[in-house]
Amino acid sequence: MSAASLADLLASQLPHGLAVRARALLNTQAALERALPAALAGHVRVMQLENAVLSLACDSGAVASRLRQQADALLVSLGKREIVVTAVRISVNPELLARYVHPVEKHGLPPAALNELAHLNTAIEDGPLKEALDRLLRHHRHD
């Protein structure tokens, strides 16, 4: 779900004050993503912005350490994006890391496709394509 569609959902489902606060946090997150160096983008989440103190959560200690080193530059960059921040509070929250997803079990090529590839392999002359087809056929016939 995109930030814009989430903001629309929040605006229609939440009480007005809560929706305004949620939209402000989404806008702050978007400004943060643009202000962060590329290596940190996607690894830092806005948790709260209250009394000009921006609370951020990082997915690892390494990201948090690097962000602490660049906090002053971040404040300047956010200021240019009209986000008023005088201090940054940085914490580590490993739950922000993408969770491990088990690989999907893939089925091999159907026998008809393997037969057609074998037929093609016998019909073409030696070269890189024939070698690639040989490897593909060996791989799928040993599974």
- Please indicate, yes or no, whether residues 122 and 84 belong to a single structural domain of this protein: no
Poorest-confidence range of 7-16, 77-86, 109-118?
7-16
Count: domains in the chain: 2
- Please indicate, yes or no, whether residues 87 and 25 belong to a single structural domain of this protein: yes
CATH number at residue 67: 3.30.300
pLDDT (tens digit, 9 = 90+) per residue, 1-40? Answer: 565 676 666 566 767 777 788 888 899 999 999 999 888 8
| pLDDT at 68 > cutoff 90 | yes
Give the C-alpha separation, 108 to 62, whole Å.
40
* Structural domain for 50, as ranges: 3-96
Closest alpha carbon to 45 in 99, 96, 100: 96
Residue 83's Cβ-count burial label (10 Å; 0-12, 13-18, 19+) is buried
User: What is the pLDDT, as a whole number, of residue 90?
Assistant: 94
Q: Is residue 90 within 8 Å of residue 67, measured between CB atoms?
A: yes
Q: Is residue 40 within 8 Å of residue 64, measured between CB atoms?
A: no
